[in-house]
Amino acid sequence: MRRTRTDGDGWDAVDVPLGEAVEAYRLEILDGASVVRAVEVGAPAFTYAAGAETADFGGPQAALTFRVAQLSAVLGAGDFAKATLAL
C-alpha cells in the first residue's frame, strides 16, 4: 500500500495519489540489523534472484527480512516499512 505526503486523507479503498514526479523506492534486504543489499527501484515490485540471495547469504534462506521506503526528489526517503517473509 502506497503512502503519500499530499492528498492522502481519504479513507476509501482507492490507492492514494503518488504525490511525486517519479515513482521510486529504496529496498534494503537485512541480515539481522545489517543491510546486505540495497537497491532503488522505479516500481512497487522487486525480484530477488537466487544468485543474489546466494551472494548475500551464502545460500537459500528460510525467511527474508526487508524494509522499503518511498523516495522523494524533494524530501529524500520516507519512513521505512519492515517485514519478514517466510520462503
Asked, for residue 45, whether it belongs to a domain, the answer is: yes
Asked, for residue 9, whether it belongs to a domain, the answer is: no
Question: What confidence score (pLDDT) does residue 2 get?
Answer: 55
Q: Containing domain of residue 62, as a range? A: 25-86
- Contacts by residues 70-76 (CB-CB < 8 Å, ≥ 24 positions apart): 70/2, 70/3, 70/20, 70/24, 70/25, 71/20, 71/24, 71/25, 71/26, 71/40, 72/5, 72/20, 73/20, 73/21, 73/22, 75/5
How many structural domains compose the chain? 1
Asked, for residue 2, whether it belongs to a domain, the answer is: no
Question: What confidence score (pLDDT) does residue 22 get?
Answer: 85
Asked, for residue 14, whether it belongs to a domain, the answer is: no
Q: State the Cα–Cα distance between residues 42 and 46, nearest whole angstrom.
A: 9
Asked, for residue 5, whether it belongs to a domain, the answer is: no
Asked, for residue 29, whether it belongs to a domain, the answer is: yes
pLDDT per residue rounded down to tens, the chain (87 residues):
555 556 555 666 566 666 777 889 999 999 999 999 999 999 989 999 999 999 999 999 999 999 999 998 888 899 999 999 999
- Outline where the chain has alpha helix (H): 50-57
